[in-house]
Chains A and B, each alone.
Chain A
Amino acid sequence: MKKKEKKQNKALKVLGKTVGALAVAYAGLFTVFYLDLDGKLLYYVVEPFMQKRFDNMERRDPMSMPYDQIDSEYMKRK
């Protein structure tokens, strides 16, 4: 009987902790939402980083592409 009770208590504790953790996570997410923290992170941190990355990315020079390429040659490569 005691063993069963102990097990039940343990299960209740785990359940309580899980619910508590979920409640904290939910409240945290609500804070992010309400204070627009997602927007601020994206605007001040993520976008400038991405912008720099794309600005510095090596790209082919469009003017170096011959204008009269032949489609069939392209297909052969595939």
Chain B
Amino acid sequence: MKRFDLKKLKDLDAKKLAKDFWYGKPHGERRLGDLYIPKTGLYKHREWRGVKDTMYYFNNIWLYNYGHMVTDILKYSGGNPKGLVQFVKGTMRYRWMGQTYLTVMHWFDRCLEGMRDETLRATAWHFRGIVSACLYQIVEMFNRDITLGGDPEKWRKTIAHDETVWGGVFYGFPDVAHIPLQMIPYFVTCHCNNHTVLNYIDAAQALGLPGDPCPMCQAEAGIFLQDDVPDFFPALVTTNEACDGSVATSVIQDWMINKPLFAMPQPMQFDDDSVLENCAKEIEGAIKFTEEMTGVKFDWELLKKKLQDQNELQRNEWEKWDVAANTNSYPINGVGQALYRIFYSQYGDMDCWHETDAKVKKIMDKCVEQKINTFPMTRHRVIAWSCAPLYYSAWCTWAYNCWGLNTIINMDSLMFDMEIRTDSYENCLLDMAKYHEWAPMRRMAVGGLQHIFELWENMEKFNCDMVMMYDQIKCKGMQGVVGLFEDEFRARNIHAIWMPHALPDKRDVSRAEIRKIINDYMFTVMGEEPLDPSLLEFDDSNSW
């Protein structure tokens, strides 16, 4: 048993203690790593951020989001309590739901560790937007799932699509829901609780598929092989986005689902204008297919209206980028920025994005006006490039807390960087095609060297002095250009850390290994000391 040390008690500085209680400990004294229970990623206790921020986290983030996880179900079910019943049924039926949904608040915890004041607030709003959009998709799936007693009329008015098919393709259909097949069961679960995805990867390999292709495509196929997809749709649209790896997913999906399928391929090398026209025709084909399958007529005016709304989101994004690039007052951390952007620009326009942007803009304007330094411990402004590790998207938060590495922008955020013209049907379709071609990973990972090397101009634009170079060890596209990057980094004298990972699969490169690689670089190459040494090494091998 530990003996009570009277001397230690005498040494305590009451004034300092009171200050730490009221304001929270300053960055260098926090020792956030001491809060973890080994292996689990759970906290002995949650972080004390000072009275104001702890109470904000408790009331406005923890309670607020737990509460909204219930009220959103009712909201998206049109107030019908049957929505809650369907939701429970779905939770008990599908692994990606039952094992993952309730752990959402721990995803917030991991990504918001160490955040304070405006940064805590604005970043949390981004997460709230994502959760609301997720709940919309989940509720729509379960309310239509005919195997769970869902509504057959709603089922008929639904199009399912690959998560890499941009939702804007379906904007022109009133009362037709478009729901991605893998965005929630695969993509979101990897961030919230990366345990579930491993089942799907293993299922694909158990079929005899080799282990070395992209685990994203394997996991997406595995959901179908495990019979873990709700039956909420009469037909589906697939694509070869992000890269041709996903064609293999479509083949397995088609086999397992056996419903009418429209394949909407997009060219890998897309800079040629004649290719753009072809791509536009494919999108038109998907629109006609949706008309045929749902019996709902395409409405050009509605498409225009929704695209204009989406353009507004893009303008908001440019404003955020401007602040991030040219000031120290951008109030959103690396992971909050990346996931929000990728989610809304891929799924498409929803009210919740506009509501979130309005709230975040208010906070951002305040930061700019008052010249608040939102990440005061920044030592390096980092741009993260290539395909990111889904099971460790919170690395940005860790890297800031431990080393002062502040991730200003991610490659995936910079895709879809355009407004869409709505002045004529022809222009609109061409822009929709271009938008689709500029999808995550497609444009800057496998879209040709000129796009992959857009890194240099963005590094300058966002005033970054360091690159976190993701090295997805199973991405055949990016593996082919490692040497070219090495040469460029050397020639341009740029500090770049190669971060190996396997997208959703933490078994190939663990989070501890990722941290070790960053630590080694910071100690040996940069010659720097950590801001919080307790975060250098800890065991989170079994954490969500």
Contact = CB atoms under 8 A, between A and B. Distances in A.
Contacts of B40: 43
Given A62-B207, A69-B258, A71-B260, A54 B95 contact: yes
B225 interface: yes
B92 interface: yes
Interface string B106-137: 10010000000000000000000000000000
A63 B208 CA distance: 11
Contacts of B256: 62, 65
8 contacts: A35-B46, A36-B42, A42-B106, A47-B103, A53-B92, A59-B227, A62-B207, A78-B234
Interface in B40-60: 40, 42-46, 54, 58
Interface stretch (A1-9, A10-18, A26-34): A26-34
Q: How large is the interface on A (under 10, 10 to 19, 20 to 34, 35 or more residues)?
A: 20 to 34
Contacts of A71: 258-261
B62 A33 contact: yes
A39 B226 contact: no
Interface in B513-538: none
Contacts of A46: 102
B58 A62 contact: no
Interface string A56-78: 01011011010101010011001
Given A30-B58, A43-B40, A36 B259 contact: no
A35 B234 contact: no
Contacts of A50: 95, 98-99
A53 B103 CA distance: 17
Interface string B9-45: 0000000000000000000000000000000101111
A62 B225 contact: yes
Nearest to B98: A50
Contact of B106 (A39, A62, A65, A75): A39
The 9 A-B pairs of least Cβ separation, nearest first, read A54-B95, A36-B43, A59-B227, A69-B258, A50-B98, A62-B225, A39-B42, A50-B99, A60-B227
Given A47-B103, A71-B261, 7 more contacts: A33-B63, A34-B58, A47-B193, A50-B98, A54-B199, A65-B258, A71-B260
Contacts of B425: none
A59 B226 contact: yes
